[in-house]
Amino acid sequence: MYVRTLAFGIVGVFILLLINTEADLENVHPLRNGKFFPFFGVGLVRFENGLCGGNSTLEGTCYTRRQCALADGVGTVRCASGIGICCIIQRTCGETSSLNNTYFVSPGFPTAYTNTSICTFTISRCNSDICQVRIDFLSFNLAQPNDNGSCVTDALIITGGASNVPVLCGENSGQHIYVDFNDANNIILTISTSTSSIASRAWNIKIAQIACNCPNRAPSGCTQYYTELSATVNSFNYGSAGSQLGTRQLVNENYGVCVAMLAGYCGIQWSQSGGAYSFTVTNNTYTNVGTGTIGTDAAAILGSNCTTDFVVIPAPIYINDTLVNTDRFCGNGFPTLISYSKPFVLTVVTNTNEINDTGNRGFSLTYTQIPCSGAALLG
């Protein structure tokens, strides 16, 4: 009799503990915790508000059901061994979010957005330990620039941050940027759309907040940051000009593309990645490409001619170890280059007009890091 009573008492306490634990978990609000990825739980039940796979295309944050509801999120699959729910946070025009891993979407996404509007979205820090955000354009389609390369029909303008981000329009799906917070603690994304009805206009932008001591934080001055051994870097709105009379290349750009140097690698190689038209940043593409300016013809594409639109690669050499007498590259072709200058960075510059740069699409370059054992200049 005594054994049965004891067993029943233990089971009853265990059930009560589970009930109380679930209640405590459900009543924790994600906005009230001061940590970037806090732990929640009572007793034996604890889990981290980390990233989780919400579905095949979007990531979420692992919350309790109540936390997800309070954050106006959408719960998907279970996480934290079934205790939490993977919560997708989406916001749209006129809204604000201080939650990590938020998606800023066009009204009615993925349906095309044809309204004329000024759509703003405000990013607030999760807490004082946050220094930066990474903005991924999962889907980003606005009107193309005018013949001069200016975003006059549609435009994305980013303000409030400490980084210099160019005005963007056109097609930028798959691109990303990093923006540092300044003392204002808010970064504002403003998308203006005109009366022109653009059938494919829509956006889905992922915003991840980055802690000051995070190893994935981009160095200061880097608008884009790549951490892979090899990757392809496209200029903003890169693509075929098609029937467009002007240029796809955007004006007034001056930004850095940085590459994290991996352990055991001392150099970086840059080369065209998309054929004859994959580097068209100055001059008339329709008349110049295919007339001898493609390839490694230094006299045709380098030197004093590169004063308006160009890319900069520090201390470059050709693949045969011949020195290059300039660090600027422009025109309608790009030679394969190697640089051992550190840190690894590519600077992109365009001037205020693209009037004579008819048909230009910008650039698509592939980089590959070179092992230290293969670094010719290092012996």
Task: Give domain limits for the chain.
Answer: 22-41+48-88, 92-216, 218-374
What pLDDT shows up at residue 34? Answer: 35
Residues 6+ apart with CB under 8 A from 292: 300
CA 52 to chain centre: 19
What is the distance of C-alpha 139 from the center of its chain? 11
| The pLDDT value given to residue 299 | 46
pLDDT digit string (tens) for 164-214? 899 999 999 999 999 999 887 899 999 999 987 777 899 999 999 999 999
- What pLDDT does 198 receive? 78
CB 236 within 8 A of CB 362: yes
C-alpha 29/C-alpha 235 separation (Å) is 41
Q: Which CATH superfamily is domain 218-374 in?
A: Spermadhesin, CUB domain (2.60.120.290)
Provide the pLDDT for residue 8. Answer: 41
Structure tokens at 223: 């608008």
pLDDT of residue 129: 93
Per-residue pLDDT of the chain (379 residues; tens, 9 = 90+): 444 444 444 444 333 333 333 444 344 344 433 344 444 444 445 567 777 876 667 888 888 888 888 888 888 888 887 888 888 899 999 999 999 899 999 999 999 999 999 999 999 999 999 999 999 999 999 999 998 999 999 999 999 988 889 999 999 999 999 999 988 789 999 999 998 777 789 999 999 999 999 999 999 999 999 999 999 999 999 988 766 677 899 999 999 999 999 999 999 999 999 788 899 998 888 777 765 344 344 444 554 578 889 999 999 999 999 998 889 999 888 999 999 999 999 999 999 988 888 888 999 999 999 999 855 443 3
0.85 exceeded by the pTM?
Answer: no
- CA diameter of the chain: 99
Compute the distance between CA of residue 173 and CA of residue 227 in angstroms, rounded to an integer.
19
Q: Answer whether 92-216 and 218-374 agree in fold.
A: yes
- Of 43, 48, 207, 40, the C-alpha closest to 123 is 207
Task: Estimate to the nearest angstrom the gap between the alpha carbon of 234 and the chain centroid.
Answer: 12
Element (H, E) at 298: helix 298-301
The CA-CA-CA angle for residues 367, 368, 373, to 5°, reads 145
Q: State both tokens at 66.
A: 């109540």
DSSP 8-state symbol, 30: G
CATH number of 92-216: 2.60.120.290
Instruction: Measure the CA–CA gap between 169 and 163, rounded to whole angstroms.
Output: 18
User: In terms of Cα–Cα distance, which of 255, 244, 225, 249 is closest to 343?
Assistant: 225
Q: What is the pLDDT of residue 212?
A: 94
Residue 27: predicted pLDDT? 41
pLDDT, residue 46, reads: 57
The enclosing H or E element of 76 equals strand 74-79
